[in-house]
Every structure is written in C-alpha cells, then in structure tokens.
Structure 1
C-alpha cells in the first residue's frame, strides 16, 4: 500500500512547492513544536541517545507566504521594522496577541548586542520581559548558503548570582527570510520569577545540520516588568468520569496561564484541550488554544499542569470565563504504540486499530493512520524507547501528511542507526474525545 501512498505524497509535495505551505500542514507543525512538553509521562532513568542537531525546532519554521495582508499598528510595525533584518517579523509576530500588544504599549527594549563566532554573528536585537517570560528577538548573519542556524532548546539566562532563571521554551519561532543577508527570529522563554533582576547573560546554542556554535551575550533590562495577576478558581469538573480541578488563572503581560490538576486516579490520560477558549460575558472569544494555529498545550509544573495562551493583557474584558466542550483522551493502558521494526509489524496500539501499517524510509518510521480530517497535529511528539536495551531516543522531527479524506501518514525521524528491534512510541495526539460543556468564571 505504501507505493500508492508514496505517489499521493509526491503529488502532495508538488502542490506544497507550488503554493508555499498548506494551512493544515503549517498549523500542525506549529502546534507540534509548541506542544513538545504537552503532559507529564512516566519516565524511567535509562541511557539516552543524544538528539540530532536538526531538532524539533524545525517544526516551527513559519514561511512568510502564509502571513500576509493583515494590518498591524504603526507603533508595532515601526518598533520592529526599525531593526536591521527584522522587517519580516511585523507579519510574523502579529499572530501572537501578547507580543504585539506589548510592543504597542512600549514594552519592547532595543538592545542590538552582537557576538561573532566561526564567521557567524548572533545579534540580540531586543527583548520583552514580564514576571513570567522573556521574548528574545535576534538576527543571524553569516550562515552558509545551504544552512539555517536555530537557537536549539532552552537558552540559559544567567543572573548576577550565576543562577539560570530560564525554565522552559514556550515557543521557538523563526522566519526564514531569504531576501536579506540577515535572518530574523525570536525565542520565547519561561523564566523563574526574576522580576527584580536586571542583569543577565544569554547563553545560546545555535545549531544546523552541519555544526553547533555556542554564544554568550550579556544584557540588562531597563523597562520595569509588570507583576502577574492571579485569579483563584478552585473548581472541579468531571467529564465522562475524568476529574480535573482548575486552581487559578495567572495573567502576565505576554501569556495567560491556566493552572489545574488532573486526578491521578482517572482512567484516561488527557492529551489536549482542543477547543479551550476564554470569552467575555457575552460569549465573545478573547483568546483560545487554537488562536491562529498557536496553542501552548498542557505543560507539567511538578504535580500540577499549566496551559498557556496568548493574550492582549492591555485589553481585558471586565468579565472573563473559560469554556471548552471536548478533550482528547485515551485509556491509560492505550497511550502507546509498540512496533517490531525488524519485521515491520505493529504489536500493540489503541483498541480502535487506527494504525494500519508501519514502514521505514531512510531514518523515518512511517505509519499509515486512519483519522479523517479530525487530527491537526502529529500523533507522536515525545521520546522513543528501544525496548530490549531500554535506550531512550530523542526524535529529530515528527511529521504528519494528509493522504486522502480518511488517511494520514504520521512519521518520526530518528538519528541514523537507531531504528531497530521492538520500539515503543508514546501517543501525544489522537482522535478520541471525551465531551462536556464546561463554563467557569475567572473574573
């Protein structure tokens, strides 16, 4: 069957090359990249196969062809476009309400601090910071003609006491701007309550398929950061027997965080809130988990979970409610796929049997998956286990392509030489839902 599907994929590829990027493909790539830390998994301490340099940040490349003809304010456009090589970010950043509103309200601080190494100059162009997050705007100059360097993983933000206050990457978004000699990008990093600190050193690793370069750039914050506003909730909801307690909502300048606990006694694992949104008293949407394809998924903070959404902090409704109607969920004993890659057969999968075939192409595990049009993100996003040795492999990329109205190809690219034996893949997105109309007042 894969020969037939390969012909379909080739036609699909040709169509993409003609028009740029399909919206469903782009949305899936963005959400996959932003949701790599979707939820806590039970992980045993095992040997780890180090990730390849072409990491999951590739999944959040945004091409300019798909973000045109939307107006932005003159303050926003002027502040960003005045930076060398950053003009394209006017169209890119306006998809993020928090960043656009912060720039409009003069929270952007110009830096233009550079470090050069191995013929490549990394320039920290500016920063926006609040109590919970820093957004680092940067340009890269001097790349080879056949490479793109990305800021890999979570950069370090070292304070005066030598402590790294960077906790996690909320988003690593880049613009492949081939029209100029400088490429602009930004990295949004969650920080550990560094609101009173002003002096930092950025330690960043820039990587491509060909090399890795380490940079250090000291910088100071001049603009006063706004403290987050906390709204207690303490309300438990039950959806088809699955219990979730919403604890509080935290409003920072750039993001809103929905903090909650999932009852460990639940029989299902919650994968995602597909239609989660914040609305005013009239039901008008203020922001949502799928806002323009940008959603921050479920992230673990100790025993608690938090879901981040982009907001316009400076234009909040007087009354605010959270609403959702469905959650992706799987029985806890069905949250993985087990495959024998020597025989190329599927040994275990969810009971509805949506995985039809498994195959190998180069360094890719490829699955024929029955889904229809309901799924918009890669089925897999986490580590892969080689069962016999217990090795944990960090995928290079995860992908998904539509084959027809009923079938997808979902794939996992792994480092060379690691596809072998019986392998276990954890499922991060799946077309099974539990449903309940939920509406909770925040303020």
Structure 2
C-alpha cells in the first residue's frame, strides 16, 4: 500500500514539475515575444502544451495528491466538479470512487433563452450512473424554475432505472443565494439492464417573476418548471472501460423470521458505486412487508455502510447501500432491527373527499390535511405523524396505481400530475410531520374513494445480523 502511494506521489510530482516547467517556459517566452516573430510561434505552442497536458491529466484521473488537486482547481470548469465529488456526504461510494479514478469529467453545456445547463461530470459503474449538473441564469439575481431531470438513451427512451434527484425546491433554495443552481441525479439501473455508451440529460428551465404563492395549508409548493418552459439537453459519453468486469457476486441464501414473517437474503453484488442486496418475502407470509427499516451493512472494523435506496418487485426487493468496494473488508454483515408491514385487512384507506374525512385507515398515524379543488385537478394532502424517531423514509402511501370510487370503478391519478410529491417538516414540539400529495382529475366521483396501501409506517421488530462474507 505504501509503495503504491509513493509511486502515485512520484507520478503526481513529476507531472506537476512538467506542468510548472511548461507554464514557466510559456511565461518566459511570452515576455520575449516582441523580439522575434519566428520564435513567437514556438512559444505559443509551449503555452498550448501546458494547457493540453492539464486537460489530458484531468481526463485520465481524478485521484490526485493535495498539491496537484489544488492546481486542478485553477482549471476553469473542473474545480466545482472535483470539489463536489470529493466532499460529498450524500454517499461515501461517490467520494471513494472519485479517489480511485472513477470520476468522468464532462463539462458540456446547453445555453439558450437566457439560461444555461451544464453537465459537470459523471460517476458510473455497471449498475449506477450519477450525473452532476448546474443551472444558471444571465445574472446572479435570477430566480429559476427547475423541472424534474430525466436521463434517456440517444433514441429519447428513458432509461429502465430508478431515477432519484433532489427536489426542485432544494435547487431553488441554494440558487437564490449563489446564482448557481447545483443538482445531482442518481440513476439506479434495473436488474440486467446495461448502461448505454451515450446518454442524454434533459431538464426544463424557466424564469420566475415572483415568489411562489402559498398553499391553502400554509406551505409552499416547490418551483417546478412548467410544461411550456424550454427544454435543455446535454449529450454525454459513458466510459465503460472504467468498470467492466469489476462486480463481485456473493451467494447468501439465508433466512430470518420477524414477527412470524420470513425474510430471505439471496445474494449480494458488490460494485464500485453500490452494493446490491437481493431479498425476498415468501408468498406464505401473512403480512405484506413494505420496507426493511433500519437495514445497513457493517464490516469487521465496525464501519456502517448506509442504505441508499431500493428497487425491484414488491416481494423481491433489491436494497442498495454505500459500497465498501475500495476498502475490501474481510467480513461484511447485513444488520437491522425492524421492518414495516401490514396484514391484508389493513391495507386500504377509505376517504370521503366531499366530506373531507378519512373513514378507514390502518391506524391513527395518517390524517386528511387538506382537499383543494383546482381548475384542472383536486389535490389531496395526506399528513403522516407518529413514525419512529429512527425512521427517515418518505412514504408514498398509495403508490401510483390509482383508486376505486364508491361504485367500484377504478380511476388513475390525474395525467397532469401523475407523480406523488412529498415534504417533511417538524412541529413546534419536535414531532416529524410528513405530507404526501395526490392529484385527482376533477370529476363527480361516487363516494367514498378507496386507496390501496403501497407502503405504511406500521412496524414489526426483531434484531438480526446476517453474514455476507
């Protein structure tokens, strides 16, 4: 390990010396440029060589010594990306990957209508793509609307993946202070779905003329871009040679029992940017298990690798965690103490939207906070209280399938607003309140309306520890 670090230090040092010499030569030659036209051409080449050498070194590697990293920060366009990756506390996998040559600078932009989108760079492995971008207007005082970003292939098809990003409201909050709206999109590819060689990042942007109008319940909806706002696109390449053949697969096939329900851990896949844990809940379980609660990975040194998300089918979930790939611990365990689950008879919520009250729910953790009839759709705001203090998950509650009216007819959520949007805030006494928003087309529905529960904060508790390797 020490020899490898010493070798890298020698390489970085030698490269730094070469760059310093080239830059000094360019400066020296520039001072003498007035004397000889013939030599002026050669000296321009020297300055160009310094710039090319800097750019080439950036494209090859982001793992650098502190001295060389400081020099990279002087190169326009790369500093923000390097800092954002190496200082990220969102997911240790990203900073560890960047420290080990996995950052891929992009630096491409799309600029029009007085706004500019730049994809700064990406991190990628065989199952995950993380895109860093920023948005800015013509001036630091410009307030912008930012839509939900998407990532597609070159044919315009959205990648078969779970795509997660910060809310537009988060971008807007920081952007009003700095004039630069920074964002990150995390793409978790589906099982067996490969990343393309090239992808397209898309987002709609618009200019705000005033502060968002408050909701009737006193909150403030995020400043989401309108469908009529212009779309910005950046096409970028993904270098597969950085991660080909690096994924490690470990068979587990171990089961535990929690409150009489069986949970099976089938296998783990360890890649540079994530660890994927494949689980299953047998059909014979009396309860529907929703989430794995406080699940995490712990290595033999006591380091915890946190849960970062999940995909998969209802009874065959795939949980994702920060990756220990570059640490290579001798032992690795999956640990936790609780799951969320409900039995069949409790998995429905019945609401009378005309009377504005809940008629049936699994328990008293949810309430109908508001029903707002708008010009195009009706917004239901469902409040969620009483979650565990260590439960940091956002609950979609009803999912996206729709609802059944009092006559038994199935309806989809409004096409204009098909997504569930949630928010979190704390009350004065420190209690966490979540809100989930659902959008119904304006129709005269026979009452009451019945919603199937997709996930819910009802807990079953049993500590467990299962060895991965």
Determine the structure 1 residue equivalent to 2:3. none
Tell whether the 8 Å contact from 1:127 to 1:137 is kept in structure 2 after alignment.
yes
1:217 equivalent among 231, 234, 255: 234
Tell me how far apart the structure 1 counterparts of residues 325 and 451 of structure 2 sit (CA, whole Å).
39
Partner of 1:387: 404
Q: Following TM superposition, by how much is the alpha carbon of 1:95 offset from its aligned partner in structure 2, in angstroms? A: 2.6
Q: Deviations over 1:36-60 (max 9, x none)?
A: xxxxxxxxxxxxxxxxxxxxxxxxx
Contact 1:383 1:395 in 2 (8 A): yes
Q: Structure 1 or 2: larger strand share?
A: 1
User: Secondary structure in 2 aligned to 1:318?
Assistant: coil
Q: 1:342 to 1:92 in 2, by over 3 A?
A: farther
Instruction: Give the 3-state SS of the residue equivalent to 2:242 in structure 1.
Output: coil
Structure 2 CA distance for partners of 1:80 and 1:236, relative to 1, 3 Å: farther
Separation in 2, partners of 1:400, 1:427: 20
Report the secondary structure of 1:330's partner residue: strand
2:306 is matched with: 288
Deviations 1:99-134 (A, max 9, x none): 111111121111111223444332222111111111
Aligned partner of 1:155 in structure 2 is 151
Give the TM-score normalised by the residue count of structure 1.
0.69
**Aligned-residue offset at 1:355:** 3.7
Structure-to-structure mapping, 1:244-263, within 5 angstroms: 244-263=263-282
Q: State the Cα distance separating 1:349 from its structure 2 match.
A: 0.9
- Provide the rounded CA distance (Å) in 2 between the counterparts of 1:202 and 1:321: 37
For residues 266-319 of structure 1, give each alpha carbon's deviation from its aligned partner in whole angstroms, at most 9, with x where no partner exists: 12121222221211235x133122xxxxx31x4215963101112242113111
The separation in 2 between residues aligned to 1:80 and 1:364, in whole angstroms, is 47
Q: Which structure has the higher relative contact order (CA within 8 Å, separation 6+)? A: 1
Q: Is the 8 A contact 1:165 1:191 kept in 2?
A: no
Task: Please list the CA deviations of residues 328-384 of structure 1 after superposition, one character each: whole Å capped at 9, or x if unmatched.
Answer: 11113322321011011212211x444455543566534565516545444435237
TM-aligned CA deviation for residue 432 of structure 1: 2.5
Q: 1:346 aligns with which of 358, 362, 373?
A: 358
Larger mean Cα displacement after TM superposition, 399-408 or 233-242: 399-408
Matched position secondary structure for 1:177: helix
2:320 to 284, 293, 308: 308
In the aligned structure 1, how far is the partner of 2:69 from the partner of 2:457?
Answer: 39
> Structure 1: 5+ residue runs without aligned partners?
1-72, 290-294
How far does the alpha carbon of each residue in 1:166-210 deviate from its partner, in whole angstroms, 9 at most, with x for none?
A: 22235313653334443221212123667696x313152435333
Say whether 1:169 aligns with 2:162.
Answer: yes
Task: Return the index of the structure with the highest Cα Rg.
Answer: 2
CA shift for structure 1 position 233: 0.4
Q: State the Cα RMSD in Å.
A: 3.6
Q: Give the equivalent residue in structure 2 for 1:328.
A: 340
- In 2, the alpha carbon distance for the partners of 1:406 and 1:196 equals 43
**1:196-235 map, 5 Å:** 199-206=197-204, 208-210=224-226, 211-222=228-239, 224-226=242-244, 227-235=246-254
Long gaps (5+) in structure 2 = 1-64, 206-223
Q: 1:122, 1:141 → 2: CA distance?
A: 7
Q: Secondary structure at the match of 2:161?
A: strand
Of Structure 1 and Structure 2, the greater helix share is in 2
TM-score by length of 2: 0.65
Q: How many residues matched?
A: 359
CA contact (8 A) 2:199 2:236 kept: yes
Match of 2:380 in 1: 365
Structure 1 residue 137 corresponds to structure 2 residue 132: yes
Report Cα offsets for 1:47-90 as digits up to 9, x if no partner. xxxxxxxxxxxxxxxxxxxxxxxxxx958898789537658736
User: Which residue of the partner structure matches residue 78 of structure 2?
Assistant: 83
